[in-house]
Amino acid sequence: MEVTKHTFNEQLERIIEDINESDFIAIDGEFTGLDATNSGHTSPFDTPEERYSKITQECSDFLLIQFGLCTFKVDEEKQRYEAKPYNFYVFPTPLSRHSPDRRFLCQSSSIDFLASQGFDFNKLFKEGIPYLIPEEENKLRADLERRHEEINKDGSGSFSPHGRASVNKSYVPIPEEQKTFINNISEQITQYLDDEDAEPLVIPPCNAFQRKLIYQTVEKKFPLVHLETKTGDDRLRYMEVSRAKSAQEQRKYQMDMQNLQKMELDIQVGFTKVIRAITASGKLVVGHNMFLDVFHILNNFHGNLPSDVDDFKTVAKSVLPRLVDTKLMASTQPLQEHISYSGLNGMMQTLSCEPFQPAKVDIAADFERYHNGGGAMHEAGYDALVTGRCFLTMINYLGSLQNPPASFTLPSSSIVEPFVNKLFLMRIIDIPYLNLNGPDLKVNRDHVFHVTFPKEWKPSDLYALFKPYGNIQISWLTSTTAYVALYLKENSALALKALSQPVISSFHVTSYAAHQLSKSLHLSSTTLSATSSPNKRKLVHGDDEDSVIRKVKRHTLSEQVCPVDAVENSILADGNKSENTHGNHHSPESMTEDSTEKTTDKLFDESDTW
pLDDT on residue 550: 37
Task: Evaluate the CA torsion angle 376, 382, 388, 392 in order and state its sign.
Answer: negative
Domains of the chain and any CATH numbers? 2-129+271-435 (3.30.420.10), 136-265 (3.30.1370.50), 448-580 (3.30.70.330)
* Residues 274/11, Cβ–Cβ less than 8 Å: no
pLDDT at 572: 43
CA-based R_g, the chain, Å: 31
HSE-CB for 481 with a 13 A CA cutoff: 9
What pLDDT is attached to residue 547?
39
**What is residue 171's predicted lDDT score, i.e. its pLDDT?**
80
The stretches of 102-195 forming alpha helices (DSSP H) are 108-116, 121-127, 134-154, 176-194
State whether residue 133 is helix, strand or coil.
coil
- Enumerate residue ranges in the chain where pLDDT < 70: 37-40, 154-170, 245, 372-375, 502-504, 522-610
DSSP state of 77: T
Q: How far apart are CA 526 and CA 528, in angstroms?
A: 6
Instruction: With H, G, I as helix, E, B as strand and everything else as coil, classify residue 105.
Output: coil
What's the CA gap between 385 and 607, in Å, rounded? 28
The separation between the first and the last C-alpha atoms of the chain, rounded to the nearest angstrom, is 37
Amino acid 154: pLDDT: 65
Q: Which residue, among 94, 471, 491, 134, has the nearest Cα to 315 in the 3D structure?
A: 134
pLDDT at 55: 92
Provide the 3-class DSSP secondary structure of residue 495.
Answer: helix
Nearest in space to 101 (alpha carbons), one of 66, 135, 136:
136
The 8-class DSSP code of residue 592 comes to S
pLDDT of residue 38: 54
Rounded CA-CA distance 62/103 in Å is 9
pLDDT at 35: 83
> CA-CA distances (angstroms) from residue 30 to 111, 239, 381?
10, 40, 10
Q: What is the pLDDT of residue 394?
A: 97
**To 5 degrees, how large is the angle CA 245–CA 246–CA 252?**
100
Question: What letter does residue 340 receive in the DSSP assignment?
Answer: S
Would you say how long the chain is, in residues?
A: 610
Task: Measure Cα distances from 398 to 21, 334, 356, 391, 403 in Å.
Answer: 25, 8, 10, 11, 11
The values of phi and psi at residue 412, to 5°, are -85, 0
**For the residues of 398-451, what is the DSSP string, one character each?**
HHHTSSS--SS--TTSGGGGGGBTEEE-TT-SS--EEETTSPPP----TTEEEE
Q: What is the pLDDT of residues 21-43, one digit of tens each?
A: 999 999 999 999 988 765 557 88
Q: Report pLDDT for 552.
A: 37
The residues pairing with 64 across neighbouring beta strands, listed in sequence order, are 31
* Cβ-contact 291, 167 below 8 angstroms: no
- Who's near 557: CB < 8 A, 6+ residues apart? none
Distance CA(421)–CA(119), nearest Å, equals: 31
